[in-house]
Amino acid sequence: MDTEKIKGKFKELFGEGGVAYSSPGRINLIGEHTDYNGGFVLPGAIDKAIYCVIKPNGTNRVRAYAPDENPATVALNSEFGLEEADKPAERWAQYIFGVAREMAKRGAKIPGFDVIISGDVPLGAGMSSSAALESCVGFALNDTFKLEFSLMELALIGQATEHNYVGVKCGIMDQFASCFGKEGSLIRLDCRSLEYEYFPFNPKGYRLVLINTCVAHMLGGEYNERRESCERVVAAIAKKHPEVKFLRDAKIEWLHEVAGKVSAVDYIRAEFVIEEIQRLLDTCELLNKGDYEAAGAKMYETHTGLSLKYTVSCPELDFLNEKAKEYGVTGSRVMGGGFGGCTINLVKNELYDEFVRKTIAAYEQEFNIKPKVYDVVIKDGARKL
């Protein structure tokens, strides 16, 4: 991303004095559908980010601009106040407004400001461009107006923005990774306690690549239905083991005890979650040892579980996973909630070119869609440029 170009556009629109900030998108190596079950996730910030240039404007209003480098489309403008009744109509501007409002709810005094937003996090590819935007604006406002929010508070402000101003009841992982990212490390986040620990991720001789199916199967309440499955199993286990509040608290033997007392579908979904939480813990140990081949095998196990037990895959994702296995890729799985989006792949350098070329050709032949390919590198989180 050419930040000098963004700074130049800011100067052209709003004059001198703008300061630049960035906050990255994220990947999650392993640990899917574990967050709302009180478990762990293992994200990392990536080398694709949202950028902003910002400065106070001496008013009580925000002037926001999002330049578009495509001459066929129009750049986005929005102007709004900072009171609750001033919520802008434009969805992209609601993220900026929501962050400012959530800060105000926590006692911050935020005057008017001018801001330009740009970035290179692919939209709709499961790399959390919205969390990157919230974290970027939050970090910028925090620094510009000396608000003294901690990084954890900034992540929670971003999550609250999604809940209260965008209408998405997301977990904390995306905003957390965007704020706390560290080059060469993944972060094991305990979604129950919010405690976290860094694990080394320097896979020399390997590359991380996402393959985007370019499909999104809209399956309505499928996500909520799985969440409810997990809650029903927790309730059944808790009758005998009252200390169980989340599936994360349950031993696999305790799940076996309620076989026949919950539906077969609920049982097998809960089995996946309990196995996935342990799989993530095992993967962290493998990363400490630098054993990327064994970590890759865990990724394949996760995909199989997501496809056959949690049933959140789709033909396109399963096809990409099978091709990865066929072409000798070390690890591959669906990343994110499922039903479309990307696979994340850990690929040996010497196999990379052939893997990408063959996968694109095979997928296009099978589905008549050209998949998108994104190389990603683990980088630092939100920062001032």
Under the banding of pLDDT at 50, 70 and 90, the label for residue 73 is: low
Lowest mean pLDDT, pick from 11-25, 218-232, 265-279: 218-232
Q: How confident is the model at residue 187 (pLDDT cuts 50, 70, 90)?
A: very high
Provide the token pair at 186: 């993944």
| Structural domain includes residue 346 | no
> Is 112 a domain residue?
yes
Nearest to 130 by CA among 93, 75, 86, 181: 93
What's the CATH number where 133 sits? 3.30.230.10
Strands in 196-200's sheet, in edge-to-edge order, are 40-41, 185-190, 196-200
Q: Among candidates 178, 209, 198, 196, which has minimal Cα distance to 296? A: 209
Q: Is residue 86 part of a domain?
A: yes
Closest CA to 321 of 310, 305, 309, 260: 305
Q: Is residue 160 part of a domain?
A: yes
- At residue 110 the predicted structure's pLDDT band, cuts being 50, 70 and 90, is very high
Q: Does 344 map to a domain?
A: no
The model carries a pTM of 0.91
Mean pLDDT value across residues 268-295: 98
Quick check: is 114 catalytic? no
pLDDT over 80 (residue 69): no
- Predicted local confidence at residue 171, as pLDDT: 83
Instruction: State the helix-helix crossing angle for 129-144 and 173-180, rounded to 10 degrees.
Output: 50
Distance between CA atoms of residues 149 and 270, nearest Å:
37
Q: What does pLDDT average to over the chain? A: 94
**Is 309 part of any domain?**
no
Residue 237 has pLDDT above 90, yes or no: yes
Query: Domain range spanning residue 43?
Result: 3-202
Cα separation, 383 vs 212, in Å, equals 28
Our count of domains for the chain comes to 1
Q: What is the pLDDT of residues 81-92, one digit of tens each?
A: 999 999 999 999
Cα–Cα distance list, 216 to 120, 123, 281, 356 (Å): 21, 12, 30, 21
Give the DSSP per-residue string, 99-163: HHHHHHHTT-----EEEEEEE-SPTTSSS-HHHHHHHHHHHHHHHHTT----HHHHHHHHHHHII
Place of tokens 């296995």: 325
The model's pLDDT over 322-366, given as tens digits with 9 standing for 90+, comes to: 999 999 999 999 998 888 999 999 999 999 999 999 999 999 999
Q: Is the pLDDT of residue 271 over 60?
A: yes
Strands 61-66 and 113-119 come out as parallel
Nearest to 376 by CA among 211, 144, 249, 210: 210
User: Which of 144, 120, 150 is CA-nearest to residue 132?
Assistant: 120
- In a domain? residue 47: yes
Q: Decide if 216 is inside a domain.
A: no
- pLDDT band for position 252 (cuts 50, 70, 90): very high
Q: Considering 35, 114, 174, 249, which one is annotated as catalytic?
A: 174
